[in-house]
Chain A
C-alpha cells in the first residue's frame, strides 16, 4: 500500500506531511459551483415560501382566520408535509439538489428532527427516538433561546419594555 503505480502521477506516496496531504486532498475535491448552488437554493427556498403563502391564503379565505392567526397552522402544515416527505425518503433526495434551499425553511428543521427520529428508531423509543430527536435541531433551539433571552434583557435594561 506504499504507492499506487496504476494511477500514475495522480497518486502520491503514503508518507506525506499533513500540509502536503491537505493541498493534495484539495485538488481531489469535486469542484462545487457556488453560483449554481445559490440558484438552486434560491429557487427551492422561494418555492417553499410560496407554498407557505398559498397555505396561509387558504386558511385565511376558507377558514376565516386573520393573517396573524393563520401563521401557526401554516407552520404546522408545512412541518406535517416535511415529515411525510422525510418518512418516504423524498426530502433527503430533494436536499441533495437544493442544499440550503431545503435546510433553511422550517421544513428543514422538521426534516432534521424526523430523520434523526427515524434513524435511531431501532435503538428504542426512549433512548433512540426521544434521546436523538434534537441531535441536530437542538443547537438551533439552544442558540435561539439564549439569543432571545439576551435581546429580552437588553429591552428590559433599556426600558423599552417590549412591543
Chain B
C-alpha cells in the first residue's frame, strides 16, 4: 500500500512542479527554490512528518523534503541546545544528500571524459 501512496504523492508533487514550469512560466531554478521553501514551511507547521509517515518515499524523494530536512535539523537542535541550534542544526539532517551529491559529482567529473 505504501508503494501506491508513494507513487501518487510523489507524482503529485512533480505535477505541481510541471504546472509551475508550464503555467506560471517559472525557470527550473525558481520552481525548485519555491518547492524547497514550501517544504520548509509545511514542516514548520508540523505537517510534513505525517505526510512522510503516510507516503514514505513519495514525500522524502521530492525536493520539498530537502526543505523539510533543513527545518527538521534546525528545530531538533533548537530543542536540544537552545537558540544557537537555529544556526547550527540546519545542515544536520541534510548532510547525506548534499555530501553524496558533491562527492559523486566530483568523482564523475574526474572519471568521465570532459565535454565541450
* Residue positions of A touching B, CB distance < 8 A: 32, 34, 37-38, 40-56, 67, 71-76, 78-80, 83-84, 86-87, 99-101, 103-110, 112-114, 116-119, 121-122, 125, 129, 133, 136-137, 139-145, 147-149, 151-156, 161-163
A140-B57 contact given A104-B62, A109-B66, A149-B86, CB 8 Å threshold: no
**A42–B90 touching, CB < 8 Å:** no
CA distance A72 to B6 in the complex (A): 17
**Can you list 15 A-B pairs with a CB-CB distance of less than 8 A?**
A41-B11, A43-B11, A54-B3, A73-B96, A75-B60, A83-B104, A100-B20, A105-B61, A110-B104, A114-B105, A122-B114, A140-B33, A141-B98, A142-B33, A155-B44
By CB atoms of chain B within 10 A, which of A41, A47, A55, A80 has the most?
Answer: A41
**B18–A100 touching, CB < 8 Å:** yes
B49 — nearest CB in chain A belongs to which residue?
A163
Give residues of chain B (94-115) contacting chain A, Cβ–Cβ below 8 Å: 96-98, 100-102, 104-112, 114-115
* Residue positions of B touching A, CB distance < 8 A: 2-3, 6-23, 28-29, 31-33, 35-37, 39-41, 43-44, 46, 49, 55-58, 60-63, 65-67, 70-80, 83, 85-87, 89-91, 96-98, 100-102, 104-112, 114-116
